[in-house]
Amino acid sequence: MIKVALPKGRIGEKALEVFEGFLQEKLCFENRKLILQKNDFCFMLVRNQDVPVYIKRGAADIGVVGLDVLEEQQSPLVRLLDLGFGRCKVVLGSPNGYVLDFSKPNLKIATKMENITKTFFARKALSVEVIKLYGSIELAPLVGMADAIVDLVETGDTMRQNNLKVDEVIMEVSAYLVANPNSFYSQKIKILKIRDFFKNRIK
Ligand code: PRP
């Protein structure tokens, strides 16, 4: 049995489509159910940020998750394949017309991604105050709570509509197929078969 953790939303749906091809079976989570069993597979639907938790603890053997989440959580998972979909960027952004002054003491940065933010500024040898938020990050500089944000940008619409600009791209992100290291060791042949199928699919 291979247990697969998929994130709710578009990335999970895309991944499930590939698994449909792999299993030659229609796959659909019914009526808000969070588990779907088919043949030798058990698919589970979880929050994007929780995918590494399920895999790390062995509740899932493999899964699909964004590189931003992997980097943020520093999860010790095997990165099997960059799937190339779910592309977006982690950026540093600030209000239009505002010149980000890195020499300002205690620059305040609002973000969901505390670790990525701290690492980014530590590499610049800058100490900043990180304000952890859970969503609507773009609001923080607009109401004077932060100087800048570190956030995900996909189309760029949210930043544009809120009069923010990109100051620096921190990381290019896409969805990854990942595995629990022990599962990868014990079910290597099966897991590599899945990886190769994904690889051919996304070429
Ligand atoms: C993400 C991200 C941005 C937005 C970017 O938020 O944090 O706010 O999407 O997308 P865009 O560049 O295509 O406009 P999400 O939709 O996950 O909501 P959240 O603010 O509640 O985290």
The closest-lying atom of ligand 1 relative to the alpha carbon of residue 155 is 13
Q: What is the pLDDT of residue 105?
A: 87
The predicted structure's pLDDT at residue 202: 85
pLDDT per residue, tens digit, the chain (203 aa), is: 999 999 999 999 999 999 999 999 999 999 899 999 999 999 999 999 999 999 999 999 999 999 999 999 998 999 999 999 999 999 999 999 999 998 888 899 999 999 999 999 999 999 899 999 999 999 999 999 999 999 999 999 999 999 999 999 999 999 999 999 999 999 999 999 999 999 999 87
Ligand 1: residue whose CA is nearest its atom 7: 152
Q: Whose CA is nearest to atom 5 of ligand 1?
A: 153
CA distance linking residue 156 with residue 185, whole number of Å: 40
With a CB cutoff of 8 Å and minimum separation 6, the contacts of 139 are: 145, 162
Q: Whose CA is nearest to atom 21 of ligand 1?
A: 135
What's the pTM value of the predicted model, to 2 decimals?
0.94
Alpha-carbon Rg for the chain, nearest whole angstrom, is 19
CA–centroid distance, residue 117 to ligand 1 (Å): 17
- The answer, yes or no, to whether any atom of ligand 1 lies below 6 A from the CB of 135, is yes
- The yes-or-no answer to whether 2-86+174-201 and 88-172 have a common fold is yes
Per-residue pLDDT, 140: 98
123, 127, 128, 134: CA torsion to nearest 10:
60
Residue that the structure tokens 């489509």 belong to: 17
Beta bridge partners of 42: 3, 37
Partnered with residue 35 across adjacent β-strands are 44
CATH superfamily entry for domain 2-86+174-201: Periplasmic binding protein-like II (3.40.190.10)
Helix (H) or strand (E) holding 4: strand 2-7
Domain ranges of the chain: 2-86+174-201, 88-172
- Minimal-distance CA residue to ligand 1 atom 17: 135
User: How far is ligand 1, taken at its centre, from the CA of residue 158, in Å?
Assistant: 7
Q: How far is CA 149 from CA 29, 49, 116, 128, in A?
A: 36, 19, 12, 12
Q: What span, in angstroms and rounded, lies between the C-alpha atoms of 9 and 171? A: 22
Question: Going by CA atoms, what residue is nearest to atom 2 of ligand 1?
Answer: 152
Matching CATH number, 88-172, of 3.40.50.720, 2.40.30.200, 3.40.190.80, 3.40.190.10: 3.40.190.10
